[in-house]
Amino acid sequence: MIMRRTPAEEILIATDLGTQTMTVAVAEMAEDGALTLLGVGESASAGMRKAEVTDFGYAQSAARMALAEAERRTQAEITEVYLSLSGTHLSSRNETVRGVTLAEDEHRVTESTLEELHALGANLPLGRDHAILHELLRGYSLDRGVGSTQPLGVHTEVIEAHYHLVTGKRTRLQTAVQCVADQRIRVKGCTFSAYASGLAVLTDEAKKRGAVVVDLGAGVTDVSVWRDDAVVHSAVHGVGGDHLSQDLSIGLEIPYARAEKLKKEIGSVVLEPMEKDEKITLPREISFDGRSFFKEAMVQILQARMAEIWQMIRDDLEEQNLWSAVETEVVVTGGGARLRGLGRLASEILPRPVRIGRARDFLGEQSDLERPEFSTVLGTLRYAAECERREASQVKGWRKIQKSLGRVVAGMRFL
């Protein structure tokens, strides 16, 4: 629920429908925009594959369990949420729309000019059964040359607005929303997972000078590239942590559940010299005879798959000619970021420094804020805060207009 606790505070709720885990985060937003995390509810996912709903009933039940857990932990009544989304059906592109200023306005950029440009950006042609998840403003160009981020009041004959669009299959987006929405809960807004993660973990300097966010989920790997305080590229790769577990299961000849547990407990993509002869023994269980193998075998399997993922990301950004725009770092988030040695391996393949991302500028329980798998849902809270402030500003502006009109009407004499 976006419910007010005092005139200066309100509660925001974010939901992340993950392939492996459903997560709901509740935060308090102060009047100055500061966010305090009140608690997180989780439940094991069901009916999800590669971050998309495959069994609506199971997925809806899992989402409701996470929402109920968040309510229990925070005592918040949830009636409105913001939702992060992913899936290989999502795609992105950069577009430019052009407008002209009016001679009667002395060719000055007015609010109406910018509103018309935004309307054009929101109505760009899409593929069949596609919908816009984001139209993120990248900046403006004046008279086909000079760049600007705040052109209001500037004199120019031609103004162009540059947008980064994230689009997806309308039906799949609707299905994800309906997993959360019901008679009691309304989905107030949606955001792309890697965009949300960037809002949570990137510094202002990184957003300005260029950075890459890589969200390693269980089913997919989401990527967003930032430059000049805007997203310039987004991608969803259909490979994630589940593939590592599957590789271990096949390569070591062990059940998938054992492989998943092994990966989470001692998984690593680097082998230290003292570990070369270390042996791992999995005890005998029902329907499993047990297994022994060298740790080196496990590391080689995980390393091969992660190297493939990093190379895929490197190749994608090279194809888009984006590495020159990335001056700072690659920040890794998501549950996959917990894999030991991940940053070291990534640094050998990617041409920029790599670090594991943690949520920034939040108050509240630090143990939750430091978990890289919570970056997306925490970033969704930040996205929610931006949306709420924007909405409040628009309402405030309209109230000023109404008040002004009221004074004018009151002063009129009717004959």
Query: Looking at the DSSP assignment, which residues form a beta bridge with residue 132?
Result: 167
Q: Which two tokens stand for residue 396?
A: 């405030």
Q: What is the pLDDT of residue 128?
A: 82
Question: Where does a domain end: 290, 305, 320?
Answer: 305
Question: Where does a domain end: 282, 305, 328?
Answer: 305
Degrees to nearest 5, angle at CA 146 with 145 and 152: 125
Contact 197, 129 (CB under 8 A): no
Q: What is the pLDDT of residue 231?
A: 98
Domain of 259: which CATH number? Answer: 3.30.420.40
121: enclosing H helix or E strand: helix 111-122
- For 351-402, how does the pLDDT look when each residue is reduced to its tens digit (9 = 90+)? 999 999 999 999 998 889 999 999 999 999 999 999 998 887 765 444 444 4
Asked if residue 4 is part of any domain, the answer here is no
Q: What distance in Å separates the CA atoms of residue 201 and residue 98, rounded to the nearest whole number?
A: 33
Asked if residue 148 is part of any domain, the answer here is yes
Degrees to nearest 5, angle at CA 274 with 271 and 283: 75
Rounded alpha-carbon distances, angstroms, from residue 372 to 197, 375, 378, 399: 9, 5, 10, 41
Contact 40, 25 (CB under 8 A): yes
Alpha helices in 168-226 (DSSP H): 170-180, 193-201, 204-209
Asked if residue 103 is part of any domain, the answer here is yes
For 267, the domain range is 241-305
Q: How many domains does the chain have?
A: 2
Phi-psi region of 117 (alpha: psi -120 to 50; beta: other; left: phi over 0): alpha
Provide the strand spans (E) within 334-374: 354-356, 362-364
Q: What distance in Å separates the CA atoms of residue 384 and residue 367, rounded to the nearest whole number?
A: 22
Asked if residue 251 is part of any domain, the answer here is yes
Q: At what angle do helices 295-319 and 241-252 cross, to 10 degrees?
A: 140
Asked if residue 126 is part of any domain, the answer here is yes
Q: What is the pLDDT of residue 410?
A: 41
Shortest CA distance to 100 belongs to which of 22, 37, 156? 156
Q: What is the DSSP string of 242-302?
A: HHHHHHHHHHHT--HHHHHHHHHHH-BS---GGGTT-EEEEPPBTTB--EEEEHHHHHHHH
Asked if residue 128 is part of any domain, the answer here is yes
Contacts 24+ apart (CB under 8 A), 108-112: 108/153, 108/154, 108/155, 109/151, 109/152, 109/153, 109/154, 109/155, 109/156, 109/159, 110/152, 111/152
Asked if residue 397 is part of any domain, the answer here is no
Question: Where does a domain end: 144, 167, 190?
Answer: 167
Identify residue 17 by its one-letter amino acid code: L
Q: What distance in Å separates the CA atoms of residue 316 and residue 329, rounded to the nearest whole number?
A: 16
Kindly tell me the burial class for residue 354, based on how many C-beta atoms sit within 10 Å of its own C-beta (0-12, 13-18, 19 or more): buried
| Distance in Å from the first CA to the final CA of the chain | 49
Q: What distance in Å separates the CA atoms of residue 185 and residue 193, rounded to the nearest whole number?
A: 21
Q: Kindly give the confidence (pLDDT) of every residue in the chain, 415 residues in length, as a single tens digit, with 9 standing for 90 and above.
A: 455 444 446 899 999 999 999 999 999 999 888 999 999 999 999 999 999 999 999 999 999 999 999 999 999 999 999 999 999 999 999 999 988 776 777 788 888 888 988 888 888 888 888 999 999 999 999 987 778 888 888 888 888 999 999 999 999 999 999 999 987 999 999 999 999 999 999 999 999 999 999 999 999 999 999 999 999 999 999 999 999 999 999 999 999 999 999 999 999 999 999 998 999 999 888 777 888 999 999 999 999 999 999 999 999 999 999 999 999 999 999 999 999 999 999 999 999 999 999 999 999 988 899 999 999 999 999 999 999 988 877 654 444 444 444 443 444 333 2
Q: What is the DSSP letter of 361?
A: S
Q: What share of the chain is helix, strand, coil (3-state, %, to 5)?
A: 40, 30, 25
Shortest CA distance to 136 belongs to which of 165, 159, 93? 165
Q: What distance in Å separates the CA atoms of residue 74 and residue 353, rounded to the nearest whole number?
A: 38
Asked if residue 66 is part of any domain, the answer here is no
Domain of 148: which CATH number? Answer: 3.30.1490.110
Quickly tell me which residue has 């900046």 as its tokens.
139
